Amino acid sequence: MKRSFLLNLPYYLIKPPGLLWSRGWYGVADETGDGSIFYRAQRTERRVRTLTNLVGKSGVIWLRLGSSAWHKGRASDTIIFAEQVISRLGGETVLVTTDGDLSVPSDLPNDVTEKILGDKNIVAWFTQNYDGSVSDPKLRPIPVGLDLHTGPNGTSISPAKKAKWYKKAQQNQLPLTARVSRIWSDVHFKSNPGKHGDPRGEIQGPILSGELSSTVDAPISRLSHREIWDRYNSYMFVLSLPGSAVEAHRTWEALALGAIVITVHTSLDQLLKPYRVVFLDQTEKNWWRCLGDTQWIEEASRLGGSGRLLDLSWKYWNDVVRSPLEG
């Protein structure tokens, strides 16, 4: 075991913070990975050797998604689940897959997806990074939520400590009418292409050149998490774009801090539509140009402001994933 893993383990031996967190499902699921206390604290690309502990189980099962179907020759936990557990579950089951950049289901072998969705005991499969490549009523997107496990410069941090910072930012959030009526953007620091193109790279030039400076505020260097959240809770708009994965923690952080999120159309549109979100059509030439139009900003304020505030509580999302078990 790596030293960083051993240092992090104490953070995961307690109940997770009360906010939707991509790694926090161990606190609400009935079954978690290989069943060991170590599973919850493992790094994203750590792979289990076996999931036979899940044979005969039912209820809500959480698996780590990972960022690739195979890593150093070893299959992802979802693949292992399809091979060892599917057709051997003990009753109605909801599968939840989070933590990682893997796109679901296109990054998985077709037979894995078919096996999982074809099992009569699987009543729903909730996943982050849903890419829309397969349409099935069982397969549903769920927010990636917060990143409470990454500290400054990628270092480790206590999830409880980071959650405390976020809750303070929530307490200090301003009503829309009192916010800075401009767009905050911190998506421009590097190009990060993925399956949805490279919208971050495309907007990098217009932001850095000052072309959008009449309406967009962007830092010249990276800020701390607390500084970023102080922008999200005080600006009317936050720009959030896909990177290597279709989903970004930024989207959900900003929404739960009361901002209107501006993003491009993706496979997550239906999940986002109820909230304070305004969509851009990335297929249009210079799709970003409207961000510098004050009339567009005014209309976006009206449209986005009509959406509801995002609830990031575990109670809410636990109820969502358990609802298919209620028939």
Q: What is the CATH number of the domain that holds 168?
A: 3.40.50
Are residue 213 and residue 126 in the same domain, yes or no?
A: no
Per-residue DSSP letter, 133 = S
Q: Is residue 153 part of a domain?
A: no
Q: Is residue 150 part of a domain?
A: no
* Identity of residue 227: E
Q: Is 184 helix (H, G, I), strand (E, B) or coil?
A: strand
Q: Verify that 212 and 252 share a domain, yes or no.
A: yes
Please, which residues have CB within 8 angstroms of residue 250's CB and are 6 or more apart in sequence?
A: 186, 187, 238, 240
In a domain? residue 133: yes
* Angstrom distance (rounded) from CA 18 to CA 33: 21
What size, in residues, is the chain? Answer: 327
CB 103 within 8 Å of CB 129: yes
pLDDT of 44 reads: 86
Residues 278 and 319 in one domain: no
Write down the pLDDT at residue 196: 77
Range of the domain at 181: 164-305
Q: What does pTM read for this prediction?
A: 0.94
Query: Based on the domain organization, do 21 and 110 belong to the same domain?
Result: yes
Give Cα separations from 43 to 5, 67, 149 (angstroms).
Answer: 7, 11, 10
Query: What whole-number distance in Å separates Cα of residue 293 and Cα of residue 182?
Result: 11
pLDDT of residue 9: 86
CA pair distance 157, 141, nearest whole angstrom: 27
Q: How many domains are contained in the chain?
A: 2
Q: Are residues 318 and 255 in the same domain?
A: no
Tokens, residue 327: 């028939």
Q: Identify residue 314 by its one-letter amino acid code.
A: W
Contact assessment for residue 206 and residue 218, using Cβ atoms and an 8 Å cutoff: no
Confidence (pLDDT) at 327 = 66
DSSP state string for 229-280: HHHHTTEEEEE----SSS--HHHHHHHHTTPEEEEE--TTHHHHTTBSEEEE
Q: Are residues 136 and 212 in the same domain?
A: no
Q: Are residue 135 and residue 89 in the same domain, yes or no?
A: yes
- In whole angstroms, how far apart are CA 41 and each of 30, 37, 159? 17, 8, 11
Residue 157 maps to a domain: no
- Whether 253 is covered by a domain: the verdict is yes
Same domain, 38 and 73: yes
pLDDT tens track, the chain, 327 positions: 454 667 788 888 889 999 999 999 999 999 999 999 999 988 888 899 999 999 999 999 999 999 999 999 899 999 999 999 999 999 999 999 999 999 999 999 999 999 999 999 999 999 999 999 999 999 999 999 999 998 887 788 999 999 999 999 999 999 999 999 999 999 988 777 777 789 999 999 999 999 999 999 999 999 999 999 999 999 999 999 998 889 999 999 999 999 999 999 999 999 999 999 999 999 999 999 999 999 999 999 999 999 999 999 999 999 999 999 986
Closest-CA residue to 51 (of 90, 20, 82, 14): 82
159 located within any domain? no
Asked if 209 and 268 sit in the same domain, the reply is yes
Cα 201 from Cα 289, distance rounded (Å): 14
Same domain? 122 vs 77: yes
Amino acid at 143: P
Residues 203 and 289 in one domain: yes
Residue 319 CB partners (closer than 8 Å, separation 6+): none
Residue 77 and residue 140 share a domain: yes
| Continuous H helices in 119-239 | 159-171, 199-208, 225-232
Q: What is the structure's pLDDT at 4?
A: 63
* 156 part of a folded domain: no
Question: Is residue 114 a part of any domain in this protein?
Answer: yes
